[in-house]
Amino acid sequence: MTTDLKNIVLTGFMGTGKTTVGKRLAKRLDYDFVDTDVLIEQRAGRSIPEIFEHGGEAVFRQLEAEIAQELALSERLVIATGGGMMVNPDNAAVLSQSGLVFCLVASPEEILSRLLRDTDHPRPLLAVPDPHERILALLRQREAVYGRFPQLVTTGKQPDEIVTELQRRLSGC
């Protein structure tokens, strides 16, 4: 595989399976795995909802941008990014240069049902009276950002099927 040493970066909306798929892909490739949200929480010493509550979204986005620059210097990482990471063009540019980016895609209904089940990781952007409407609005806003990367649909598929599909695509790179 000519992708050796390059990072594999997973983007896509919240709840599309980036962390689950990323961890399994890293294991199969014998790469290290990182989740940018976890790094941000470690650095801030606070959970993501607490960061949003204390400093607002701007503080969160600043930490996210610093982490993008740092991770781009690494090699052989599978990086699961927060769903808003690639909205910042500087983050998208630096991470795209550091490796291969894939975008995981799920239907809005699947996203909502997965996020409602994921009570350990509340998403501040969806803490609104109508999260379904918010998901649709954010997906519309981010359509062009996500659309720049090769897509993999995760709705109705098992994580291992997605990992196998990613490996198949990587072998063609």
Residues at the contact surface with ligand S3P, assessed by CB under 6 A = 14, 18, 37, 48, 82-84, 123-125
The residue type at 45: G
Which residue lies nearer to ligand S3P by CB, 14 or 100? 14
Smallest distance, ligand S3P to C-beta of residue 167, A: 22
Smallest distance, ligand S3P to C-beta of residue 92, A: 14
Which residue lies nearer to ligand S3P by CB, 83 or 99? 83
Q: What is the three-state SS of the chain?
A: CCCCCCEEEEEECCCCCHHHHHHHHHHHHCCEEEEHHHHHHHHHCCCHHHHHHHHHHHHHHHHHHHHHHHHCCCCCEEEECCCCHHHCHHHHHHHHHHEEEEEEECCHHHHHHHHHHCCCCCCHHHCCCCHHHHHHHHHHHHHHHHCCCCEEECCCCCHHHHHHHHHHHHHCC
Which residue lies nearer to ligand S3P by CB, 124 or 159? 124
Q: In this chain, which residue has its C-beta nearest to ligand S3P?
A: 82
Which residue lies nearer to ligand S3P by CB, 94 or 139? 139
Smallest distance, ligand S3P to C-beta of residue 117, A: 13
Smallest distance, ligand S3P to C-beta of residue 1, A: 26
Smallest distance, ligand S3P to C-beta of residue 2, A: 29
Which residue lies nearer to ligand S3P by CB, 125 or 153? 125
Whether the CB-CB separation of 84 and 92 falls below 8 Å is answered with: no
